[in-house]
Amino acid sequence: MSDIKLLGSIHDIEPQSWDKLWASDYPFIRHAFLAALEDSGCTNSESGWIPSHLLWQEGENPVAAMPLYLKTHSYGEYVFDWAWADAYRRHGLDYYPKLLNAIPFTPSCGPRLAVQAGRDRAAVMEDISRYLADYCQQQQLSSWHSLFHDHSDNQLWQPQLLSRLGCQFHWYNRGYRDFQDFLDQFNSRKRKAVRKERKQIVDAGIRLTRLVGTEISSADWDQFYHFYHYTYLKRSGNSGYLNRDFFALIGESVGEQILMVRAERHGETLGAALCFFSQTHLFGRYWGCIEEVPGLHFETCYYQGIEFAIERGLQVFDPGAQGEHKIQRGFEPTLTCSSHWIAEPRFRAAIADFLQRERPGIEAYQQDCATYLPFRQQQAPE
């Protein structure tokens, strides 16, 4: 007998069963990562990220799964629907709560739905879409959304869901031998600019260290959390989404997929960046510093990551959302996908019209950004 249900905790399924179903080393979908968010209190009713993970079973056999959250706001998502929520409010309707298929606070493209090998993926997605639509209507939820999912799923979610494009900036490894080989592909002016930027760090007496897994000590995590929290506080006046307990938990449970880049001067650590990696991708996630030094952010968050990716043979470096400053440093404009189901027919039609008109602008933006890439022979954007 088939049974689709929503789980109130990631702990309601065994880690081995969850991870085996995904058959992926994408770090953010791992049971341990989602459990760290939950166990640290970063995803709960108080944060507005209430775990409601979908699991489809036949007896004891998992057929499909997706990370799912009941959301009471749109913070920490990076696919912005504030205008949709405001339109609902102005018409006397509630946009929240909604259901969200996403990785909390993580605008990194990757798998959002696991389907057992040998199953008809399109048929499973159609059944899940129908189940979630029925659930939303029964619970009086406005909508459900899937953010930053794989491009291969975009067409399969249609026509049940509305498709939305975004644009990020990713680095692609085109067989570079080392950082200099990568830089040799730049035009002269841009190449000199990067060299000058990196030289600033050397001249400032700053030393960069890359730590992986068990090389990251508890003291390193304490320092990193201080930088992360301080930087959020300085820029927005608010604390970061993540707490110290979360970083302690991921250090213990998924540390083998974590890279910390630490910047030191005269024995004092000034700042650090945190990345995750799989066998093919590097994901830049968090950063913080206690002193603003020219070029420090670019060296710590980007150049060190590129060197690491080349050394490890990783194919893609996804440094996160936004940031046109990445273009001149060799990060290429890359389209991202999200999909949306809206319960209210009038708003569904209005949002469909909006997305149809928005799409050419996003595609044009990607193409325009590609003209500013620093390469001698422009690479075609992915």
Question: What's the average model confidence in pLDDT over 170-187?
Answer: 97
Question: What's residue 382's pLDDT?
Answer: 55
- The answer to whether the CB of 366 falls within 8 A of the CB of 335 is yes
- The CATH fold of domain 2-167+334-370: Aminopeptidase (3.40.630)
Of residues 379 and 295, more confidently modeled: 295
Residue 19 has pLDDT above 70, yes or no: yes
Q: Do domains 2-167+334-370 and 174-314 have the same CATH topology?
A: yes
Is the confidence at residue 380, as pLDDT, over 60? no
Q: Is the pLDDT of residue 379 over 60?
A: no
Q: Is the pLDDT of residue 381 over 80?
A: no
Q: What is the per-residue pLDDT for 1?
A: 39
Q: Is the peptide bond before 97 cis (omega within 30 degrees of 0)?
A: yes
Domain residues of the chain, as ranges? 2-167+334-370, 174-314
Q: What is the mean pLDDT of the chain?
A: 95
In the CATH scheme, what is the code of domain 174-314?
3.40.630.30
pLDDT tens across 317-342, in order?
999 887 899 999 999 999 999 999 99
**pLDDT at residue 166 tops 70:** yes
Q: Indicate the burial class of 189 (C-beta count within 10 angstroms; 0-12, 13-18, 19 or more).
A: exposed
Core vs surface per residue 235-265: b (16+ CB within 10 A) or e? eeeeebbbbeebbbbbbebbbebbbbbbbeb
Span 81-97, pLDDT tens digits: 999 999 999 999 999 99
